[in-house]
Structure 1
């Protein structure tokens, strides 16, 4: 069973139909309740001719030869889609949607899930027979993005299309999901009426605290306390139950003990609440009975098409001036800004909010996710992706529910909005702590690091660093670069800064410009424009140690004036960066206040002032890496010539037993796979003496992240080159599927030390094979493990030295 979100934000369940009395009844009821035209479009005959045997044939065997998927609300079938196998490669597909659920994207959702199930069962192509006047069904097919062939004959259209996704079909599917998810979360972030169930009159009770926070946040809508015994809470009229509230409730915030929760959930369903947030604990965060109770809550809400934040959440905040809602336990409300925050830990989330408030980082919205029973970090990312009031996203993560989806979403977002993440549970000990505290499952940290690098997420080590980087990103248009100059009045701070620059992989533009302690403000005012105008400088670190009590303010004015001066410079004629666009970070070594502060330059820009030099440099390094990621070609998944991916997969499937797995190491089978993949690999034997570069690629399946590609060993014998010796590069990892940019990146990462001595043709050939492997694995879910070792000769020929594949039959 899976949750699906429809185009209008409605939530439903999607599952296989089974040959049970209930499911046969639901399908027949659907047939009887749709219009005669819909029945005719589906069967080209009246429903009286559709008996139980037809329904049973439609339900099929669960996927191998026939499959029906049902979209339900827990009580009835809203729509069905099914395929029936015609031969080894082809299946016929058809759909039926109830009249009141049409135009909500159900047909598209069913098609996507049917295509995935069919492909897993080895079906390569769908076919459909559609009456010419059934325009609604044709629109579903056309909107899928699959490359379709349509032949029309005698009032009937015959449609065929391959099931492997292309860039267009994948992009359209992601767009549909993003829009539907955002619509389903609208009630949490833009409610007009909020009910607090469990609002207490006792000031020390959490229900009272939360209700007070909503009142004190100047909520623009109406808030209702729900309490079965109190006539009022905080001088606001209370209501015994949610059913007694006189208005339709958009958001229900529940703060009652776990053992009272189900009756409250039933009330939410009865009055039609679509957004529910549970702040109570005692669910999957505690024990098995709590987990079962949480599942029951989710099942009831899903059957009603509602969404859930929590349980065990510490609430949400929406700072939009038209909403202003603090439905959380955070005592201080941050100022309105353009930074969205999501936290897996409620307590740390409140700390993050507190620090944001103290250093003046404005927040658009905040969510404590709690147990993530329904609404997940991926859902919030898709909401904030298109939220016009959000420019930056901060995440505190302990685990990933669906990391492949997280990767796809993040890769889209980071191209126009930075995502900063603190990912804890990095060591075996902390992983055990996370598991004991929540249902979190941690991944290998090297894999997480690879995903962050691949998607452009800015990974930081600490909560402090999270805001160090955030304040630099929001400070204006300064575009960081690797060539960094230092302007200082103290040598000690400069030494620390240079050490950190080099450790962070930045380039120090020597020498340090030490202006000394005489005429401090005037010296900064004179020197800084000169440094910014230097075309060999991309960014400047300004260090300052006060001498007298009035020095700091004078230096602040001087730095601001220097930046205003270069802002008026004419644009460079040689394509160089404008001096004003270069990043500037500062460190003022003062005492008593160790928060990040700001130096306001103009309406568009401010300069962050960090309490310590290394904070300024680390923030600069993170922002530089992010800008480099955004400036690089994002790449795409290319169409590869001479690439028979269906044959490569079928070779594997034919070797698999009915149940279980198979290890494939015989040359004949492996060479058939390699030939189907195409590319420039030579399958002949080659002597060891001719090979000067060995590249070992390893495919493995991570239980969370899915298939990964590792360049596990890159070994070069450089005895015949100007740099003699033996070099072994470090492993490099990427999540599959790889774009052409990913292939170039993993090659550079693994072979950077010796790339100069590798012929260009060999480099291109290896990268081409990386892409072929990636697409083969992405479209061959049976493959669980594989190893390929390539040998490169001095004439740039590439030989397959050895290979191994392990595969298992996939169950739908």
Structure 2
């Protein structure tokens, strides 16, 4: 069963049809209009024959397949494919007349195409009447390569099922828009109810309701309490069913044994968004207390979405909303930082810390156990949110790392993402309270994923805010050259060491101002450094000496920054980040000096400032690189490679769980099909390496590249920039230069292996060992390929 989000934001589910679904399928056809039946079956019929229904519900899922789109017990649509020959299956759909325009036909096509492709089909046949404009639109807008023939009022379409980047991009755009629509009632409700809002000032429901009121919520808020007449001076109602109007958002803060009937009320009254604060729900249903998964499924069947359980709430600072449905005691300062946290308590702490540092927040969500709404969903909501310019994440697990990677690769090109990945050790995983049942993410893979996606990874919450303080204050640096202006030699020594350790470069010797007239010294020195084209960022160090006043120095820095930005005599001014360290001050929190044109974050220690600057500089370098692409590879024929493998395993469907190694001669044929040409031998190879791609149960296909000097890992699919990046590590300083034939040949082989394991679904492992490249060709000492079926093994949870 797969959760899908329809175009209007409503949740639904896809599942294979079963023999027990005869009545469900029959009901869908019985309620269809004569026109819809005519478009589906090409002739006027009053009733669909029983043998047709029987064939649909008896599909084996390989040679033929039937998918139902369901909202609870209500069928919304059905899609089928039936085998035509070894490469082709015929596909057809019917969608409930009241659900046209919701994207169901497109989603059915995408999911059926994925199933057919996994089962070895290369093409879909579709026959569409000319008058059926809606279904024709589904096929033509799908992104698949289409050939068409027209005769006698019927269009015969042939769709090539290969997953191209264009198809993926269209699918991702459709999913992003639908997901954002499904989360809108959480962040922009006009009506809400707190179920379990007690009169006890210490009760969780009372605290939540009071925070909503005190935050100045711009909609209508109802307390729901079966015994109280009022809560916090607001009239209370016994249940959701007795409210004077439907609500868009329900916040549930009741004991575990009361959650189930409240969820039933949410379903009955048509609540679209539900936040469950309640913790302690069992992993397996006991004594009538449902599991989080069962609650999520119940709400999804009704078209609703769930945040939690074990969530500590949600915040939106938009003045048109002003929603603090959380345990944050103060309404956050408005700003551009969106925050998502697996740990509710840490999330509230993050909000508090942001407030103390003066960092404004756009919205916040505590995910809890992620029974439904996940970090990936929130990222897709914030991707195009005009109120959000950067995102901070506290993560303890991944639902679907590959999906996370594709989403974040899009976002980080326009908005920075700063992430703390908790539970990165066995001990940390053991005490995680988020209810994750997934295998612990191997930290090296997390690093690879974050690096490829351009995510700024930090190790602590302090580092998170050190970095966000800089991102919120100043532009990204254009390079890694840092100028130091200081009044203390000792501080400069510490800063220079920190710059070296963090991979930054000195832009000339430190400017030492001495101990006299410090404010004036900073005021004169800073503009010169900001106008220097050889400087990408400035680090200001200040230690109070004698009667020196840190507030006077702060004013001088602000004036100097404004002067640099407004002085035309010094040429064109390019904004640069300025970070500062004021030693021996009373405040140990990062704060900022507001210069108007930009802000200067002030850190309590020099190495803290440098570390934040290094993280932001690395992100700035990522943003300056062109967007990586998956290049076309001349001579790479994945269709032929797949035919070789499937020819070796004609009974692959029946041996779904068997993994076996292919004979060496067939491995060589697969390499030939992928355009990996080998020489008899390579004399004086410029580079030696090995490439291994294997299946990880959480991350999918991962690729290791090793050489005598280094070994690195990446997650497929690899872009051209991914390969350049990993070869910088693998080749090492003594390896061939970036533009050399050997380097290009190495990159080409790695990209072809990545393409092979991405598009030939039966492969579970490829290992090329003792690979040597020179200007004359390449030598592969050994090639091994393991085959099986990867279905249900890749990608983790749907979210």
TM-score, structure 2 length as denominator? Answer: 0.95
Separation in structure 1 between the aligned mates of residue 305 and residue 724 of structure 2, nearest angstrom: 41
2:399 to 396, 401, 406: 401
Does 2:637 match 1:639? no
Give, in angstroms, the shift of residue 761 of structure 1.
1.4
1:605 to 598, 605, 608: 598
Which residue of the partner structure matches residue 668 of structure 1?
665
Separation in structure 2 between the aligned mates of residue 758 and residue 790 of structure 1, nearest angstrom: 21
CA contact (8 A) 2:707 2:731 kept: yes
Does 2:743 match 1:749? no
Which residues of 2 match residues 392-541 of structure 1 at below 5 A? 392-434=390-432, 438-439=436-437, 441-541=439-539
Shift in alpha-carbon separation, 1:385–1:587, aligned structure 2, 3 A: same
CA contact (8 A) 2:736 2:742 kept: no
Give, in angstroms, the shift of residue 439 of structure 1.
3.8
Give, in angstroms, the shift of residue 758 of structure 1.
7.9
Separation in structure 2 between the aligned mates of residue 292 and residue 207 of structure 1, nearest angstrom: 21
How many residue pairs get matched? 788
1:583 to 563, 577, 591: 577
Q: Deviations over 1:241-272 (max 9, x none)?
A: 11111122111001111101111111111111
Which residue of the partner structure matches residue 653 of structure 1?
646
Which residue of the partner structure matches residue 5 of structure 1?
5
CA contact (8 A) 2:686 2:774 kept: yes
Q: Deviations over 1:700-750 (max 9, x none)?
A: 111111001110x213xxxxxxxxxxxx22x11111111111122121221
1:547 to 545, 548, 563: 545
Q: Deviations over 1:601-640 (max 9, x none)?
A: 11x4111111110111011001001011111011211222
Give, in angstroms, the shift of residue 78 of structure 1.
0.7
Q: Which moved more, 1:185-194 or 1:286-295?
A: 286-295
Which residue of the partner structure matches residue 296 of structure 2?
298
Does 2:167 match 1:169? yes
CA contact (8 A) 1:520 1:551 kept: no
1:685 to 680, 685, 690: 680
Provide the aligned C-alpha RMSD in A. Answer: 2.0
Give, in angstroms, the shift of residue 329 of structure 1.
1.1
Query: SS at 1:4's partner residue?
Result: strand
Separation in structure 2 between the aligned mates of residue 290 and residue 581 of structure 1, nearest angstrom: 61
Give, in angstroms, the shift of residue 436 of structure 1.
8.9
Separation in structure 1 between the aligned mates of residue 188 and residue 791 of structure 2, nearest angstrom: 41
Give, in angstroms, the shift of residue 47 of structure 1.
3.5
Q: Deviations over 1:777-796 (max 9, x none)?
A: 11122211121125335534
Shift in alpha-carbon separation, 1:609–1:285, aligned structure 2, 3 A: farther
Give, in angstroms, the shift of residue 428 of structure 1.
2.0
Separation in structure 2 between the aligned mates of residue 122 and residue 434 of structure 1, nearest angstrom: 40
Give, in angstroms, the shift of residue 55 of structure 1.
1.6
Flag structure 2 segments of 5+ consecutive residues without an equivalent. Answer: 793-799
Q: Deviations over 1:346-396 (max 9, x none)?
A: 111111111011111111111110010000010000000111111111000
CA contact (8 A) 1:522 1:558 kept: yes
Which residue of the partner structure matches residue 179 of structure 2?
181
CA contact (8 A) 1:661 1:806 kept: no
Give, in angstroms, the shift of residue 662 of structure 1.
4.1
Which residue of the partner structure matches residue 153 of structure 1?
151
Which residues of 2 match residues 300-449 of structure 1 at below 5 A? 300-434=298-432, 438-439=436-437, 441-449=439-447
Separation in structure 1 between the aligned mates of residue 431 and residue 584 of structure 2, nearest angstrom: 38
1:200 to 198, 201, 211: 198
CA contact (8 A) 1:192 1:221 kept: yes
Q: Deviations over 1:642-694 (max 9, x none)?
A: 12101112222232354143433533101110111014x31x4327x644531
Shift in alpha-carbon separation, 1:178–1:338, aligned structure 2, 3 A: same
Does 2:752 match 1:772? yes
Q: Which moved more, 1:428-437 or 1:196-205?
A: 428-437
Separation in structure 1 between the aligned mates of residue 718 and residue 556 of structure 2, nearest angstrom: 49
Separation in structure 2 between the aligned mates of residue 78 and residue 437 of structure 1, nearest angstrom: 32
Separation in structure 2 between the aligned mates of residue 165 and residue 305 of structure 1, nearest angstrom: 29
